[in-house]
Structure 1
Amino acid sequence: MSTEAVTHLPPTPPSEPSTYNNRTAPTSAPQSQQKHLWVITGPAGCGKTSVAEYLHQQLQLPYLEGDTVSHPYKFQWHRQQLTNLQFHTPENVQKMANGQPLTDADRWDWLILLREQALLTLTKPSSPQPPTTPTTPTASSASTLPPSGVIITCSALKRKYRDVLRIAAYHRPDLSVHFVYLQASEAVLMDRVRARQNHYMKDYMVHSQFQSLEAPQEDELRGDVLSVDAGGESKEVQRLALGMVRGVM
């Protein structure tokens, strides 16, 4: 997959209500066929990767890590890995490594590529885990069924970035987009990032991200955004996020 940047503006969404309500809006798709795109969001250090990996393990859904650029991107689906995919362009990676914040123009291709890869993942046949016991039933058609959802990590700091990802559900009554917003103070996240070893994101970039951050507003929180207190220990945050996600599924 090419990572060459293509400069363009984000698609203009069709007119829609001012509130987002993926969680409660009626859908024409039967519950068993409804698919979910879970976007784990928040500034650097909030625990996006930790939470996404935990949800991936607990819910057995494919996982796309959109923010990791320090190694070849890994698409995880049970025991399978597809390498050599990277959503940020090399130019973006270099800017972040140099401590330069990304502009809106830098982000459009990243967001669109991540969104389209998530949609593609929802069409791919899943690969079931091996039986955990000799009596575990197996379905002959299991390997031909696409997953019921996909998890992605994406900082999605601004509302317009979240809107680019929301386009995934346009004209898709069988798909709901949800944002799991990991909320913590700037001081807490600065300390976490300082403690990281060999990571491209430096602590001073946390302040830059908080300057850009547009936290979800009331209409988003009433609709498709789940706000999780991410100020505690990692395992506590993981459990909180899983409980909220299961409450929607």
Structure 2
Amino acid sequence: MGVAGSGKTTVANLLAERLGADMVDADDLHPAANVAKMASGTPLTDEDRWPWLEAVGRAVRERLAAGRSVVVACSALRRAYREAIAASAEAPVRFAHLDGSRELIAARMAARAGHFMPTGLLDSQFAVLEPLEADEPGFTVAIDGTPEQTADAIALRLRRNGAPPTGS
């Protein structure tokens, strides 16, 4: 989880590979109207997000029911969003918050091409962000290293805690 440009998709792909898990990019589950709204520079509202968050949790639930582990790249910026994903998943979920400075993330966003999320929405992402709290299932990982180092740090933490990789 984390703001746009924090490396969620890249790290989730690497992590899924390391753990032998499926990978789901929550961006792929957005309805076309949400993508168009964000691409136009308009932040999503909670009303836009709730059906999408339910779809994210459902994707986790379906893979777990099929006997697969799954890593999900999803912003999950607020605690209520994370709780909605877990409720829809109907299973324990662990979150890894990819944490970095606004400057680092803005530079990464400016360097990428072909993504619907404009850099202009980064401030709205940070405004909505509620970092993981101590009583939530998950942990924070710094993204100042390479994506490979970030994925390795998450995999190590998951293995050390004996937690199945059912979400990120």
Deviations 1:21-63 (CA, angstroms, capped at 9, x unpaired): xxxxxxxxxxxxxxxxxxxx00011111111111111111111
Q: Residues 110 and 168 of structure 1: is their aligned pair in 2 closer, same or farther, counting only changes over 3 Å?
A: closer
What's the CA shift for 1:150? 1.3
CA distance in 2, matches of 1:167, 1:177: 9
The residue that corresponds to 1:46 in the other structure is 6
The residue that corresponds to 1:202 in the other structure is 118
Select the structure that is richer in helix. Answer: 2
Runs of 4+ in 1 over 3 A off after TM superposition: none
What's the CA shift for 1:97? 0.7
Aligned partner of 1:156 among 53, 69, 76: 76
The residue that corresponds to 1:226 in the other structure is 139
* RCO higher in structure (CA 8 A, sep ≥6): 2
The residue that corresponds to 2:54 in the other structure is 112
Percent identical residues:
35
The residue that corresponds to 1:167 in the other structure is 87
Where does the alignment leave 5 or more consecutive residues of structure 2 unmatched? 163-168
Q: Would the aligned equivalents of 1:168 and 1:177 in 2 still touch at CA under 8 Å?
A: no
Q: Would the aligned equivalents of 1:51 and 1:241 in 2 still touch at CA under 8 Å?
A: no
Aligned residues: 162
What's the CA shift for 1:177? 1.0
The residue that corresponds to 2:165 in the other structure is none
The equivalences for 1:23-34 within 5 A come to: none
Q: Would the aligned equivalents of 1:66 and 1:153 in 2 still touch at CA under 8 Å?
A: yes
Where does the alignment leave 5 or more consecutive residues of structure 1 unmatched? 1-40, 68-85, 125-145
TM-score by length of 1: 0.62
Deviations 1:100-153 (CA, angstroms, capped at 9, x unpaired): 1000000000000111121011122xxxxxxxxxxxxxxxxxxxxx22x21111
Q: Secondary structure at the match of 1:63?
A: strand
Q: Would the aligned equivalents of 2:132 and 2:139 in 1 still touch at CA under 8 Å?
A: no
TM-score by length of 2: 0.90
The residue that corresponds to 1:123 in the other structure is 65
What's the CA shift for 1:169? 6.0
The residue that corresponds to 1:63 in the other structure is 23
Aligned partner of 1:96 among 38, 55, 67: 38
Aligned partner of 2:133 among 217, 233, 236: 217
CA distance in 2, matches of 1:217, 1:248: 18
